[in-house]
Amino acid sequence: MRILVTGGLGALGTVLVKELRQRGHEVWACDLHHNHDRFYVRCDISKFRQIQNLISSHRFNYVYHLAAESGRSNGEDYYENLWMANVVGTKNLLRLQDNYRFRMVFLSSSEVYGDWPDIMSEDVMDKNEVKQLNDFAMTKWISEIQVLNHSRMANTETVRIRLFNTYGPGEYYSPYRGVICRFAWSALHDLPYEVYLNHHRTFTHLTDTARTLANIPDNFKPGEVYNIGGREYHNIKYLSDLILGYLRKPDDLVIYKESEPFTTMDKKIDIGKAERDLDHKPLITLEEGIPQTLNWMKEIYKETLSCPESASSFPTTTTPGTSQKQLIM
């Protein structure tokens, strides 16, 4: 099959492209930058002409739509980019889907569950009013509704996926990254970081996530939505302890705080549906995935690690009016 992965240079995109190619598909990728890959096209999905060029030049059977401005903190600081990429970008793809009839896999986020206090099963939002807590969450929820409205109006076929804290080698550090990436970076570079004691999350390794995503065409059910996450449920301090334990470092630089305001305390996830339909299997434990990630980081960042100033001089961004800096995840 011919498949396009938007956001194909991202942490998850890279692994997914590889996985799909290993299964024998012709896999194209697009992302914001130029790249050497023969099956890669530079494309900003928020620019209709660019994505139209790409889609109309090939007959894709599937489009995995991963391209997005990600993360709450990033969404607050770069909200113009967020709304253009996530909502206008997805709308562009949906319009093209009307004409070119590819099947789509849309990557959403667990953030759509807002502050839902109970088990996050896929139908929560069909039964309950959930208000999203930040702009990033809103873009993902809105795009899900755009997908549903388009499917209804134009009979397009799309599956939605809600990711829960995916991590692993390939996630390059920035202050906007997920909690494992940020803790690992800080611990490696002996920089202080904050740990909120009352938050719990599940974590999924990139490899496990990509394998499940690659399974979707084997049992494609248009209109369905799936949680993809882990089975284990950890508090944030456990993560930090694991990282420091592998690095044999004390927790002197860790700033412990009770809980973070305006953030979901706990995310309890139901992954039964993805296990049944998509053969989702969270195989890699944190105890395996974290040292693997640390080793990858040590290799990638050997320069900043040998010269600590270059890491610590990386400024902690602060924007007037934003109180959402240094979020826990």
Q: Does 252 bind a copy of itself (CB under 8 A)?
A: no
Three-class DSSP category at 227: strand
CB nearer to a copy of itself: give 87 or 254: 87
Count, residues near a copy of itself per rule CB under 8 A: 36
Residue 120 lies near a copy of itself (rule: CB under 8 A): no
In the chain the beta strands, taken as DSSP E runs, fall at 2-6, 26-31, 40-42, 62-65, 103-109, 158-163, 166-167, 193-196, 200-201, 204-205, 225-228, 234-235, 254-257
Sorted by sequence, the CB contacts under 8 Å of residue 65 that are 6+ apart come out as 6, 7, 45, 90, 93, 104, 105, 106, 107
Site string (151-170) toward a copy of itself, x via CB under 8 A: -xxx----------------
Contact between 88 and a copy of itself (CB under 8 A)? yes
Give me the least distance between CB of 83 and a copy of itself, in Å please. 5
- For a copy of itself, the closer CB: 130 or 253: 130
Question: Is position 99 an interface residue for a copy of itself (rule: CB under 8 A)?
Answer: yes
152 vs 231 by CB, closer to a copy of itself:
152
Q: Which stretch binds a copy of itself (CB under 8 A): 1-9, 144-152, 182-190, 224-232?
A: 144-152
Nearest CA to 223 out of 270, 155, 278, 162 is that of 155
Where residue 190 falls (left for φ over 0; alpha for ψ -120 to 50; beta otherwise) is: left
Rounded Cα gap, residues 43 and 5, in angstroms: 11
CA 77 to chain centre: 18
Does 247 help bind a copy of itself (rule: CB under 8 A)?
no
Residue 265 touching a copy of itself (CB under 8 A):
no
Asked whether position 125 contacts a copy of itself by CB under 8 A, the answer is yes
Assess 318 for contact with a copy of itself (CB under 8 A): no
**Token pair 């996926």 in the structure block, residue:** 161
Q: Give the integer Cα–Cα distance in Å for 144 and 281.
A: 24
Return the residue of 6, 14, 74, 134 that touches a copy of itself, per CB under 8 A.
134
From the list 142-150, 163-171, 175-183, 194-202, the region that binds a copy of itself by CB under 8 A is 142-150
The answer to the question of residue 259 lying near a copy of itself (CB under 8 A) is no
Report whether 136 contacts 69 (CB < 8 A).
yes
For residues 44 to 83, the per-residue mask of contacts with a copy of itself, x marking binding by CB under 8 A and - elsewhere, is ----x------------------------------xx--x
Per rule CB under 8 A, is residue 132 in the interface with a copy of itself? yes
148 near a copy of itself (CB under 8 A)? yes
Q: Does 264 sit near a copy of itself (CB under 8 A)?
A: no
Q: Which of 71, 85, 81 is nearest to 136 (CA)?
A: 71
Residue 263 binding a copy of itself, by CB under 8 A: no
Shortest reach from residue 182's CB to a copy of itself, in Å: 22
Backbone angles phi, psi at 266, to 5 degrees: -125, 145
- Residue 254's SS3 state is strand
Phi, psi of 283 (to 5 degrees): -95, -35
Question: Which residues of the chain form contacts with a copy of itself (CB under 8 A)?
Answer: 48, 79-80, 83-84, 87-88, 91, 95, 98-99, 125-135, 138, 142, 145-146, 148-149, 152-154, 261-262, 320-321, 323
